[in-house]
């Protein structure tokens, strides 16, 4: 005997409905449309939030010291050889010496606070890719030059060639006037621009000049700056087995709250739009209950002809879940296409993208799209169980009593 998927065949026939059954078809179509719109909106919003998160990650975590290893008993003194314990850490692709301190900058008419980074100009420095004036190679030892962010330069009212006074509050010196912070005049040799608030906080200078300002011995530096494959891996790396004299610090000390807020906002947006999908999925219940009430006589006839309760159950599950599958897949495809082309669509609609930084950042992740689609289908399947069970429980004698 040839296998014939009778429940699937009848379920799909019920999905189409009869030409005179317009209201049930309308309710079913609205349920499908609701799921489509919910999935579509969820994919677009999550993709844009992914883009913003990645943009922050590139603009801020790409240039900030992602992790810094210091010693409890003072600065390091061997800049040419990273400790073996650091080279063995996973996710670490580069370790360079760094001298860091909180500093105050003073120009002729303003003050600004920032974080001074003493770097080796011939080594790797991510801010070199964001220079708009000058270059990192200009930070030669003994030249006492600094590179400022565009935001800090505007705040201080200085340009390339001007002098600023750099004061380090953590180190003080004795003078005839009393104890004052270690300070020295520096020449602005370059300006960088990242498009983030980093432009108002990071100050670059030569590692040797920074060491002199901090009263370090020659060749001494604060610690090893680690560059990671994934800056978000610091949570696990912070638990690594390092020598007892080493101290770990990372970007979470300065920017942890910002990224925590972005993650929270992303999760809340996903939850709210997920509820929209849930409401649309459970609209299937009302549509399917109407169908079950209308089809009681037909279900009774099918049972009298040998159809089992399990087959009736599967029939209505197929009908209800088909709406969810069609809506979820359609919403997934449309949502992905709209997300990938959202900037072109906004331009056609006349939206001013200049206020958004030129374009909306979008990062469509196939795994997330698949999770959204599968989740919507599962919700739709869940919504069909109760009406389908009611249909399977129909007793032919009672349903046909008045026929």
3-state SS of 328-393 is HHHHHHHHHHHHHCHHHHHHHCCCCHHHHCCCCCCCCCHHHHHHHHHHHHHHHHHHHHHHHHHHHC
Please check the confidence at residue 16 and state whether its pLDDT lies above 80.
no
Which pLDDT tens digit goes with each residue over 221-268? Answer: 998 998 888 888 888 888 888 888 888 888 888 777 777 777 787 788
Question: Phi, psi at residue 293, to the nearest 5°?
Answer: -65, -40
Q: Which two tokens stand for residue 55?
A: 């943009």
Question: Phi, psi at residue 124, to the nearest 5°?
Answer: -80, 130
pTM here is 0.71
Q: How far apart are CA 392 and CA 376, in angstroms?
A: 24
Q: Which two tokens stand for residue 400?
A: 């046909």
Please check the confidence at residue 325 and state whether its pLDDT lies above 90.
no
From residue 237, alpha-carbon distances to 217, 244, 251 in Å are 30, 15, 12
Question: Phi, psi at residue 118, to the nearest 5°?
Answer: -90, 115
What is the enclosing helix (H) or strand (E) of 69? strand 67-71
Contact 141, 163 (CB under 8 A): no
Q: How far apart are CA 397 and CA 403, in angstroms?
A: 10
Q: Measured in whole angstroms, how far is the alpha carbon of residue 54 from the centre of its chain?
A: 6
Do strands 202-206 and 145-149 pair parallel, antiparallel, or not at all (unpaired)?
antiparallel
What are the residues facing 111 on neighbouring strands?
A: 106
Give the contacts of 84 (CB within 8 A, at least 6 positions apart): none
Give the contacts of 155 (CB within 8 A, at least 6 positions apart): 110, 112, 200
Which pLDDT tens digit goes with each residue over 88-104? Answer: 888 888 888 999 988 99
Q: How confident is the model at residue 185 (pLDDT cuts 50, 70, 90)?
A: very high
DSSP 295: T
Please check the confidence at residue 20 and state whether its pLDDT lies above 60.
no
Contact 312, 394 (CB under 8 A): yes
**Average pLDDT, stretch 323-328?**
84
Please check the confidence at residue 297 and state whether its pLDDT lies above 80.
no
- Cα 180-186-192 angle, rounded to 5 deg: 125
Please check the confidence at residue 2 and state whether its pLDDT lies above 50.
no
Q: How far apart are CA 39 and CA 334, in angstroms?
A: 9
Which pLDDT tens digit goes with each residue over 34-88? Answer: 888 888 988 888 888 888 888 888 888 888 888 888 888 888 887 777 888 887 8
Q: Which two tokens stand for residue 135?
A: 């270059």
């Amino acid at each position: 005997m040839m296998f014939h998927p009778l429940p699937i065949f009848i379920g799909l026939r019920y999905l189409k409905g009869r030409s005179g059954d317009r209201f049930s078809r309308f309710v079913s179509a609205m349920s499908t449309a609701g799921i489509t719109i919910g999935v579509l909106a969820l994919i677009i919003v999550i993709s844009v939030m992914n883009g913003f998160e990645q943009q922050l990650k590139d603009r801020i975590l790409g240039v900030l010291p992602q992790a810094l290893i210091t010693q409890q008993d003072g600065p390091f003194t061997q800049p040419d050889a990273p400790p073996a314990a650091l080279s063995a850490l996973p996710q670490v692709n580069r370790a360079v010496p760094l001298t860091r301190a909180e500093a105050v900058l003073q120009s002729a008419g303003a003050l600004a606070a920032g974080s001074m980074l003493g770097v080796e100009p011939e080594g790797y420095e991510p801010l070199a890719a964001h220079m708009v004036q000058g270059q990192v190679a200009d930070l030669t030892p003994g030249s006492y030059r600094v590179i400022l962010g565009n935001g800090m330069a505007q705040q201080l009212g200085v340009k390339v060639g001007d002098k600023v006074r750099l004061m380090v509050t953590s180190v003080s010196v004795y003078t005839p006037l009393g104890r004052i912070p270690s300070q020295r005049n520096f020449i602005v040799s370059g300006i960088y621009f990242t498009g983030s608030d980093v432009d108002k906080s990071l100050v670059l200078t030569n590692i040797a000049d920074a060491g002199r300002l901090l009263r370090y011995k020659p060749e001494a530096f604060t610690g090893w700056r680690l560059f990671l494959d994934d800056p978000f891996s610091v949570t696990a790396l912070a638990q690594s087995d390092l020598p007892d004299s080493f101290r770990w610090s990372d970007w979470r000390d300065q920017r942890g709250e910002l990224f925590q807020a972005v993650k929270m906002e992303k999760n809340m947006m996903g939850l709210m739009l997920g509820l929209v999908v849930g409401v649309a999925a459970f609209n299937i219940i009302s549509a399917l209950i109407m169908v079950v009430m209308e089809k009681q006589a037909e279900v009774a006839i099918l049972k009298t002809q040998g159809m089992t309760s399990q087959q009736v159950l599967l029939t209505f599950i197929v009908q209800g879940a088909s709406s969810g599958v069609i809506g979820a897949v359609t919403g997934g495809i449309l949502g992905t296409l709209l997300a990938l082309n959202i900037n072109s669509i906004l331009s056609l609609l006349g939206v001013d993208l200049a206020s958004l930084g030129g374009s909306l950042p979008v990062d469509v992740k196939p795994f997330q799209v698949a999770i959204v689609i599968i989740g919507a289908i599962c919700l739709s399947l869940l919504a069909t169980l109760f009406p389908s069970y009611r249909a399977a429980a129909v007793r032919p004698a009672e349903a046909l009593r008045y026929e």
